[in-house]
């Protein structure tokens, strides 16, 4: 296991909700990352954003770690949930709120959002 893989693994396991994204939650640098930030902010879910543009090693490492070729990637309690499209679909279907509730993560927006 390379250093970056261990670092990612540790981040994924020590943060309840973590988003590997392009840019930061305050300044997303890609539309897909921006959408994930909007959804999580709307739900009021606490999360950590990691900017993959900060290093090529990280940017490539996360694609390998998740066996997932695109960014953003969302992990909840160590489990890969999906990218922007999946998160958006779950949100629009009302499943995302239930998912966070199941995982014991507080959501401040109403269930009927």
Applying CB under 8 A, the residues found at the interface with other proteins are: 31-32, 63, 67-71, 80-86, 89-90
Return left, alpha or beta for 77; rule: phi > 0 is left, psi -120 to 50 is alpha, else beta: left
Adjacent-strand bridge partners of 1: none
**Closest CB 39 distance from other proteins, rounded Å:** 14
Query: How far, rounded to the nearest angstrom, does the alpha carbon of residue 67 sit from its chain's CA centroid?
Result: 15
**Closest CB 81 distance from other proteins, rounded Å:** 8
Q: What is the DSSP string of 62-92?
A: HHHHTT--SS-EEEETTEEEE-HHHHHHHHH
How, if at all, do strands 23-24 and 27-28 pair?
antiparallel
Pick the closer one to other proteins by CB: 50 or 62.
Answer: 62
Pick the closer one to other proteins by CB: 85 or 98.
Answer: 85
**Closest CB 56 distance from other proteins, rounded Å:** 14
Pick the closer one to other proteins by CB: 7 or 80.
Answer: 80
- What residue has token string 């900017």? 51
**Closest CB 107 distance from other proteins, rounded Å:** 20
Pick the closer one to other proteins by CB: 96 or 108.
Answer: 96
């Amino acid at each position: 296991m390379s250093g970056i893989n261990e670092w990612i693994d540790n981040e994924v396991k020590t943060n309840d909700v973590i988003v590997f994204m392009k840019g930061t939650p305050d300044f997303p640098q890609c539309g897909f990352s921006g959408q994930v930030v909007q959804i999580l902010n709307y739900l009021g879910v606490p999360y950590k954003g990691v900017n993959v543009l900060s290093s090529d090693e990280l940017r490539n490492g996360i694609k390998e770690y998740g066996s997932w070729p695109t960014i953003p990637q969302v992990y909840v309690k160590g489990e890969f949930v999906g990218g922007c499209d999946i998160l958006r679909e779950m949100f629009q279907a009302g499943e995302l709120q239930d998912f966070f509730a199941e995982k014991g993560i507080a959501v401040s927006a109403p269930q009927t959002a």
